[in-house]
Every structure is written in structure tokens, then in C-alpha cells.
Structure 1
Amino acid sequence: MNKFMDVLENILMPVADKLNNNRYLTSLRDGFMIALPLIIFGSIFVVIANLPFLDLLIGEEAYAEYQAALAPASAGTLSIMATFVIVGIGYKLTEFYEGEAIYGGVTALAAFLILTPQVLGDVTGVIAAENLGAKGMFLGIFTAFTAAELYRFFTEKDWTIKMPDGVPGAVSRSFSALIPITFTLSIFLMIRIIFSYTPFGDVQNFIYTVVQAPLTALGSGLPATIAAVLLIQIFWFFGLHGQIIVNSVMDPIWYSLATENLAAFQAGEEVPHIVSKQFIDSFIVGMGGSGMTLAVILGIFLIGKSRQMKEIGKIGAPAGIFNVNEPIIFGLPIIMNPIVLLPWLVAPVVVTVITYMAMASGLVPPPTGVIVPWTTPTILNGAIATNSWQGGVLQAFNIVVVFFIWWPFLKILDNQYYESERDDEESTNQSA
């Protein structure tokens, strides 16, 4: 076992280190974090606008007016979430290079809008909301990276307008950014013109057809989801934040799937995807944190007899209710503990399969695309994510499954701690 762990550590640690320090993945992650409060705001109002049975209480006509009144909350946030992510990525990547971050962010957004089709049917000068949301996500990410790099390149070449001393700082910075922004956006304009002569018609259609659609199809499948969940657990086992590492790669796919789900849900259509951001956050991570350690805490209270176990349970329970599990990960401990490696890896995979099959069979509705705050307690979390009581019941069932997977391993660990404590007491009594 030790040799196997050494091999895994030697393979994974360099990979994780490179991923953590990669400027593009870091900017991508932080860009989504900038957009997150806006996304959650829109999600809250989607939940409020679609409260179960409200149409029966107030009537269909009043319910339609009620939904129309609340619709701008999600239309102005969730439906155009790609724009916020683009600004965030451009800002963070430019900030990494110690440039004027705000100009990096707005240049990235302007470049994206130049590439985005501004035709809707026979009407020109109009951008379809879907192109600013899920459909435009991948183009937005690539554009933000490229625009920020071009802006940095032209700035570092010192192709700037330098204002004399005494000019206010805001004015001076604005003129300094003028030439780099002009050159950057001119390149994107040329790209748009070139693509207008291709069979794809525009860059967005090209990216969606060639890159985004295949990747989202792959990411929405069970095998890819299991692989992602396993990697999260493996990285955590070695003391690395597996969620941050894996999510920085998978979030564009999962968010795109979630946005498509939300559009279908709001239109009253069948939700198209089982796997999405909420599938991971609510049914894998949202049960006490990574590894679903709320079930571990439950196991500690039910079978723990050692003082160490009991104290860990007391410390970990309040945080675990709100999906914070660092007290368990570092206190049990889970990190680098070979006794718990098997349940730590197996339980999330089993729950992923159970959840996927329950939703695929129709027993539980798939997540609607509403972003549930990650601190929302289990059961309530699942009910909100799926807009159904079945989601909460599925979470409760999964907790029981995880508990039974962990039970024999917790028993072994608890017995070790108990024997160690008893030996210490005997040594203390003998010395006294």
C-alpha cells in the first residue's frame, strides 16, 4: 500500500502543482468566482418564480404575471452569464501580468461582442441571449484568454500614448490603453470578417460545432463524470484541493450544461442533461463537502468510542451541516491515511452512479440549472437543485449508502484510537 501511495504521489503532485500554478486555469477559476454572486442572485429568483403549487394557489393568469415580473432577475444574470465570466477572466489574467486589469476585462468583453453574431432572424443589431450564455461560453473563454494576451503584448511593446505630467491618472491610463486596445480589437474584427467567408459563417458557430458541442457531450456522460469525481478525491487525499483543480478544467462544461438545463426548465420543457454543475455541487460535494463526509460524521456519532473520534465529530458536525469538511479531512485525518483511502475513493463513485441512474430512470428529476449556494444544508440542497422533494430524498438515501461504505473502516480507525488511548492511560497509571 505504501509503495502504491508513493507512486501515486510522485505522479499526481507534479501534475497538481502545474495545474494550480497555470495562469490560464487560475484566471478561469477566478473569473467564474467573480460571476458567482450574480449567478446565485439569478438562481434565487428562478427558485422563487417557480415555487411548487403556486399556480394552483393564485391561478394560472396571476402566476404567469408573477413569473414575468421576476424574469428580468435571471434574464439579466444567468441568461448572459458568459459576459460576466469573460470580464472576470480578462481582468484576472491581465492582473496576473500586473497590467491595468480593468482594461483587460473590458477589452475581452468587447472582443467577444465583435465575434458574436448580431443578427436575430431578419433583425440586425440584436444579440440572441443564448449567445451570451451557454452557447457562447467556450468562445468567451478562448476570446478572453486571447484578448488579454494581445493587450499585454501591445502594452509591453510600449505602443502607448504617454500623457504629460499633471494629467489626472485616470485620463493618462485611458490614453495609455488606447493603442493596445485598438490593435487587439482590430485583430478580432479581422477574424470575424475572415470567418464570414467560411461555411460556419461566424466564429461562435465554429467554436460551438467543433469544440463546445463535443466536449459538453463528453462531459455530460457518466464515465467522464466518474473520472472527474475520482480525481477530486485523489487530489484531496494528498492534501491538494481537488475541487479547485478539477473544477478549473470542468466548470466551463458543467456550467454550459446547467445553463441549457435552466433554459429548458424556464420554458417548461424537459431538462436535457443529468450531469451539470448542480449534479456535482449538490449530489456529490453538497453532502458535507468533498467525499460526502456528512455521512462520516454520522458514523462517528453512532459507532465512535474513542475520545479522539468523539471530539472530531463534535468539531466537524456544525461545519459539516453547511458542507465545510476541513475539520474531518484534516482531523480524522483523511489526508495520507491508508485506512480510509478505499471508502474515500469508492463512496463518491457509488453515489455518482446511484444518482445518475435515479435521474436517468425518472425516479428523481435532473437538476434544473438553478445554482444552489454551496453552504445550503443537505436535503434542502437537493430539493432546491431539482425543484422536487425527490432530490432531498435521494440525498438522504445517498448519505445512508456512504455511511455503510465507511462503517467498517471507521470501526477499524476508532479501535486503533481507542487502543492507543487505553495504552496511554495504562502507561500514565504505571508511572504514577
Structure 2
Amino acid sequence: MNSKFMQFLEDILLPIADKLNNNRYLSALRDGFMVALPLIIFGSIFVVIANLPFLDKLISEDAYAAYQNALGPASAATLSIMGIFVIIGIGYKLTEHYKGEAIYGGVVAFASFLILTPQVLEGVSGVIPTASLGAQGMFLGIFTAFISAELYRFFVQKNWTIKMPAGVPGAVSKSFSALIPITLTLTVFLVIRIIFSYTSFDTVQNFIYTIIQQPLTALGSGLPATIVAVLLIQVFWFFGLHGQIIVNSVFDPIWYALNDENLSAFQAGTELPNIITKQFIDSFLVGMGGSGMTLAVVLLIYLIGRSRQLKEIGKLGGPSGFFNVNEPIIFGLPIIMNPLIIIPWLIAPVVVTIITYYSMATGLVPPPAGIIVPWTTPPILSGFLATGNAWQGAVLQAFNLAVVMVIWWPFLKLLDKNYYETENKETKNAS
């Protein structure tokens, strides 16, 4: 890699990264995700095991249902509600930064989020939808954790606390000291919930999703719209939102309709009418290790990684990434709020989208045949199946992986160097 280019990246990106890493909110965000990482990895492993490609074709329907039901709680108790762990982690770490009682910062953040969360599911009250506790609620959860921790700190610093006499056990004294600050903090969020209940949005979640999703509905289909959709997925993920859930909820009806048109044409033996379909996205973008095609990142880690952090992330993220589950990479590298990798994270999927589109538009590769390939099907095989058992689809996926690796190379090398130098300093200081 050109040394001048590497030096240019260091001169531009490292100062930005240092400033952001010293920001208390971004540090709390990063460390909060680290709290959730072991649980996310556990859930990711069992998502793969529970959804092994084509297992439903090999065993009976009842056996497959029993198999999934047995393993389902592993991901339901971790990935499906990972927002809980992140919110508690952020509240804990931010309060810890202020030298406060960190555990109260964590629980008040979670309680504040629950107050804002709708507690009605399909007409049944007193039930919290798990979707709100997972990736869909992450955006609201992050900002709720920041605000609640700041409010709690503010009320504590104002000395609005109950002082217990000497001789009272420490745990009891701390609990009463936190009573008034926690009460005031939760009251603020209760007022916010009440205010939104009198608006057309009804809840804060509905407000957030409305302002994000409505502008997307006007985009339609085609290459320009697909590039915008792919770019938005990456941007949302960078800020901690589940980009696929947000964007797919708008585009899936369009992509599935185009997919069905191709399937009908494929079965009739006529020309396939569409290039952009649901399987175009799932097999040639997301199906390359997950959002951002991070299987290429895992392969690069094996090739150039020197730091202990990257090597461990590669070991943890490799097996699940092979089956298109990449939470270990997204939260462990990390992808979220990491200025050193924002350029390849945004650019690589767009480049691959353009390459894939024109490869199919020029006839080099057949368009997706409309066959729904299980999302956990590994790359190369999924490209072969999605294009109607065409070898060109597999070759295109391999080529795209190589392209992503080339784009990521200098940035991952810089990230690895940064981690490696930090680890060496810590080792010297410890000795």
C-alpha cells in the first residue's frame, strides 16, 4: 500500500478519531456496546445454528419447528432485546465518567426508556413488544440513556438527595440517596410520554420512524433509488440503528414485487424483467457476510491483523459472518461511530451495487431468478442459487468480495496499527 496514502489517512483520520474517542458521550456509547458484546455474540451463534441453510428441507416440518423452538430463546434473550443491554451500558458508563453511582445511572436509563416504550401489543395492554427492546428501539434508547444519565447527574450534583444518619448500611444509604434524583428523572420522561400521547404520533417511537421512513417512500426502485437505500442502510448502522429494518420496511414491498415478476418469468422460461429485486439485495449485498459485506473484513483481518483486538474479533466474527450474521463485527470492531472506517463502510456497498447492476445489465451475469435463497446461505453458494444455478452468480460474489477487501485494506490497516500501538503502550505501562 502506498506509504504516502497511508500517511495521508493517518494525518486526516487519526486526529478526528482521537477527538471523538475523548468525547464522553461517544466513549459511553462505545463502551455501552462493549457491555452488550458477549451477549450479542452468544445470540449470533445460535441464530446461525437455528437457521442452518436448507435444514427445513432435510427434516420434517414438525421436527424443524421443534428444533427452532428449542434454540429460539438463545437469540430471543440476547439479540432480540440487545437494546436493553446497550442502554444500561451507556447509562452506567456515562454516570461512571461523572464519578457517580454507575449502577443507578444504568437502571434509570433503562427505566426511562421503558416509560417511553409503548406497552400495548395487538390490543393487549401491559405487554412490551420485544422489537422495541431490540434494534428498532436502539436509536431512541441511545439518546434516552444520554439524557437520563445527565438528568440524574444534575439532580445529584444539586444535592437533592436524602441523607441517612451514620450507622445505616451503605447499600441502604446509597439507595435512599438515589431516590429523589431517580424520581425526578423518571418524571421528566413520563411527562414526555404524556405529551406525545396527545399528538398524532401517539408515541416517541412512532415520531422517529415517521420522520425517517416517510421521505424514503418517494424513492421507488431502480439503480439510483437502490444506491440511496443501500447508503442509508450503512448510515443508519453507523449511528447504531438497524439500517435494514428501517429501509427494508419501506422497500421490501417494492423489492418483493419485482422478485415475484422475475420468478414468474423464470418459471415460464422468458426473459427476466428486473435486475433490482429482493434477492439482488439479499444475495449480492447483505448475503456477503451481513450488512456492509463484512465477511471481506473478516478475511482481511486474517491476512493483515496484528493487534490482539482485531485478531480476537476475527475469530469471533468469522464463523457467524460466513452465515451472514455480523453483529460481532459491527459491535466488536466496532463499526458504530468509528471514524476510521466510515469511508469504506459507506463506499464499498455502493461500489458493489453498481458493479452487480451493470454486470447483470450487460448480460455478463444473469439477474436474480426470483428464487428465495435462505438468508444464512454462505456467499458463493447463494450467488449460484439466486441466479437460477448460474456459475456466473458465484463468480460475481467472489469478485465483489475481492473489491470490498481492496477498498477496506488501507483503512483496516490504519485501524489495526492504532490498536496495535495502543496495546503495546498499555503493555509497557503495565510492566
TM-score of Structure 1 vs Structure 2, range by shorter chain: 0.5 to 0.7
Question: CA separation in 1, counterparts of 2:297 and 2:89?
Answer: 24
Q: What is the aligned-residue RMSD (CA, Å)?
A: 5.0
Which runs of no fewer than 5 residues in structure 1 stay unpaired? 230-245, 298-311, 313-317, 325-344, 371-378, 407-432
Shift of 1:67: 1.1
Structure 2 counterparts to residues 360-379 of structure 1, below 5 A: 362=368, 368=375
User: CA 1:20/1:88 → structure 2, altered by over 3 Å: closer, same or farther?
Assistant: same
Over residues 129-180 of structure 1, what are the superposed CA-to-partner deviations in whole Å (9 max), with x where a residue is unaligned? 2111232111111111110110111111111112222222222211111111
Shift of 1:210: 2.2
Question: CA separation in 1, counterparts of 2:152 and 2:17?
Answer: 29
Over residues 294-343 of structure 1, what are the superposed CA-to-partner deviations in whole Å (9 max), with x where a residue is unaligned? 3x79xxxxxxxxxxxxxx9xxxxx9998599xxxxxxxxxxxxxxxxxxx
Structure 2 counterparts to residues 252-331 of structure 1, below 5 A: 252-253=240-241, 255-257=242-244, 274=285, 278-280=290-292, 282-289=294-301, 294=303, 322=315
Question: CA separation in 2, counterparts of 1:256 and 1:62?
Answer: 33
Instruction: State whether residues 284 and 351 of structure 1, in contact with CA within 8 Å, keep that contact through their aligned partners in structure 2.
Output: no
Instruction: State whether residues 54 and 63 of structure 1, in contact with CA within 8 Å, keep that contact through their aligned partners in structure 2.
Output: yes
Q: Which residue of 1 aligns with 2:326?
A: none
User: CA 1:216/1:58 → structure 2, altered by over 3 Å: closer, same or farther?
Assistant: same
Q: How many residues matched?
A: 331
Question: CA separation in 1, counterparts of 2:217 and 2:299?
Answer: 25
Question: CA separation in 1, counterparts of 2:354 and 2:295?
Answer: 10
Question: CA separation in 2, counterparts of 1:224 and 1:20?
Answer: 29
Mapped pair 1:126 → 2:127: yes
Structure 2 counterparts to residues 16-415 of structure 1, below 5 A: 16-211=17-212, 222=227, 250-253=238-241, 255-257=242-244, 274=285, 278-280=290-292, 282-289=294-301, 294=303, 322=315, 349=347, 353-354=351-352, 358=356, 362=368, 368=375, 396-398=398-400, 400-401=402-403
Give the SS at the match of 1:194. helix
Give the SS at the match of 2:290. helix
- TM-score scaled to structure 1, two decimals? 0.61
Question: CA separation in 1, counterparts of 2:218 and 2:38?
Answer: 27
User: CA 1:213/1:110 → structure 2, altered by over 3 Å: closer, same or farther?
Assistant: farther
Question: CA separation in 1, counterparts of 2:406 and 2:176?
Answer: 65
- TM-score scaled to structure 2, two decimals? 0.61
Over residues 182-221 of structure 1, what are the superposed CA-to-partner deviations in whole Å (9 max), with x where a residue is unaligned? 0000111111111111111111211222257769999x96
Question: CA separation in 1, counterparts of 2:125 and 2:314?
Answer: 51
Matching residue's letter, 1:83? I
Instruction: State whether residues 79 and 134 of structure 2, in contact with CA within 8 Å, keep that contact through their aligned partners in structure 1.
Output: yes
Over residues 375-427 of structure 1, what are the superposed CA-to-partner deviations in whole Å (9 max), with x where a residue is unaligned? xxxx97x589x799989976643465579999xxxxxxxxxxxxxxxxxxxxx
Question: CA separation in 2, counterparts of 1:224 and 1:259?
Answer: 10
Question: CA separation in 2, counterparts of 1:404 and 1:82?
Answer: 33
Instruction: State whether residues 287 and 399 of structure 1, in contact with CA within 8 Å, keep that contact through their aligned partners in structure 2.
Output: no
Shift of 1:252: 0.9
Give the SS at the match of 1:160. coil
Give the SS at the match of 2:150. helix
Shift of 1:353: 2.1
Question: CA separation in 1, counterparts of 2:247 and 2:78?
Answer: 14
Which protein is bigger by CA-based radius of gyration?
1
Question: CA separation in 1, counterparts of 2:233 and 2:62?
Answer: 44
Instruction: State whether residues 284 and 352 of structure 1, in contact with CA within 8 Å, keep that contact through their aligned partners in structure 2.
Output: no
Q: Which residue of 1 aligns with 2:332?
A: none
Shift of 1:88: 1.1
Instruction: State whether residues 347 and 402 of structure 1, in contact with CA within 8 Å, keep that contact through their aligned partners in structure 2.
Output: no
Matching residue's letter, 2:152? Y
% identical aligned pairs: 57
Instruction: State whether residues 117 and 127 of structure 1, in contact with CA within 8 Å, keep that contact through their aligned partners in structure 2.
Output: yes
